[in-house]
Amino acid sequence: MADRITFEATVNGQKVGPLDIPADLMLTELLHEYLGLTGTRVACGQGVCRACSVLIDDGVAGSAAALTPLPACVTGAAYASGKSIRTIEGMAGDDGQGNPVPSAIQQAFLDHFSFQCSFCTPGFVISAQALVERLERAPVPRDQVEDTVLAAMNENICRCTGYVRYLGAVRDVVLNTPGLTTGDPEPAVTAAAGPAAGGRG
């Protein structure tokens, strides 16, 4: 195998390359050292904790590859060449004036105070975003949301919060985003008159 390769890809919607890189370069090293994208965290270095997760689309129409987070610390940059890569830096939206706007998942994590040290948070965002996109294609019944969220987030390791707030945030996004579940209840009918509801218990 050649000692060096030419790397080209689309990263967060932007064309990157051609770059001359070592053939055995890991994707995390490419993101950090060549592209300055340091949001993808390196923790275990063995693909176990998933802090370094990214989304990679192999370019095949309808492929599920883009919906499966991959651990960048054990994924070779050569594998990602020619593909479309999304990192944590590509998750936020835009307000139309060039200012970033948190994605629904990112905002939910903030609202739920889901993280403490935040080192694992990029990986959780990636896994949750992958779940949301899968459910956009194939919604699940509302009574299966709990198990679906647990399965989707199961490989992500957090050393601080005990996962409860992460999982609650993802569950709320899934349940409250139209089209992600089936068997949605009918919209509530607002009473024409009467006192406002009291505080939540």
Contact 80, 34 (CB under 8 A): no
The whole-angstrom separation of Cα 125 and Cα 120 is: 9
Q: What CATH number should be reported for the domain holding residue 150?
A: 1.10.150.120
Domain boundaries, position 132: 93-182
- Tens of pLDDT along the chain (201 residues) come to 569 999 999 999 999 989 999 999 999 999 999 999 999 999 888 888 999 999 998 655 444 445 679 999 999 999 999 999 999 999 998 888 888 899 999 999 999 999 888 889 999 999 999 999 999 999 999 999 999 999 999 999 998 877 899 999 999 999 999 999 998 555 544 444 444 434 333
The whole-angstrom separation of Cα 90 and Cα 161 is: 25
pLDDT tens digit sequence for 96-125: 888 889 999 999 999 999 988 888 999 999
Judge if 73 and 105 occupy the same domain. Answer: no
The whole-angstrom separation of Cα 47 and Cα 146 is: 25
Judge if 176 and 129 occupy the same domain. Answer: yes
Provide the domain count of the chain: 2
Helical segments of 46-119, H only: 77-80, 104-111
Give strand pairing partners of 54: 70
pLDDT tens digit sequence for 8-17: 999 999 999 8
